[in-house]
Structure 1
Amino acid sequence: MSEKKTLRVLFCMGINQNFFDAEPAEAKAVWAAFGAMWNGIHNMPGVNVLGNMDDDQSMVGPSTSFPWTTYLLADMPDIESVHAACNLFRTTVVGEGPYKLWKYCKVEARVGRELIVQS
Structure 2
Amino acid sequence: MSNTKPLRVLFCIGIQQNFFDASAAEAKEVWTAFASMMKAIGELPGVKVLGNLDDDRIMVGASASWPWTTYILADVPDLETVTAGCNLFRTTPVGDGTYKLWKYAKVEARIGRELEVPA
TM-score band w.r.t. shorter chain: over 0.9
Provide the residue aligned with 1:60 in structure 2.
60
Cα distance in 1 for partners of 2:47, 2:95 equals 27
Provide the residue aligned with 2:85 in structure 1.
85
Q: TM-score, normalised by structure 2?
A: 0.97
Provide the residue aligned with 1:29 in structure 2.
29
Provide the residue aligned with 1:114 in structure 2.
114
Aligned to 1:53, what secondary structure does the other structure show?
Answer: strand
CA offset digits 1:48-102 (Å, max 9, x no partner): 1111100000111001111100000000011100000000000000000210000
Q: Point out where structure 2 has 5 or more consecutive residues left out of the alignment.
A: none
Counterparts in 2 of 1:6-21, with a 5 A limit? Answer: 6-21=6-21
Provide the residue aligned with 1:38 in structure 2.
38
Aligned Cα root-mean-square deviation (Å):
0.9
Q: Point out where structure 1 has 5 or more consecutive residues left out of the alignment.
A: none
Q: Which amino acid aligns with 2:57?
A: Q
| 2:75 is aligned with 1:101 | no
Q: Which amino acid aligns with 1:21?
A: D
State the 1:45 CA deviation: 1.4
Q: Which amino acid aligns with 1:64?
A: A
Aligned length: 118
Provide the residue aligned with 2:71 in structure 1.
71
Q: TM-score, normalised by structure 1?
A: 0.97
* Identity within the alignment, %: 68
Cα distance in 1 for partners of 2:116, 2:4 equals 16
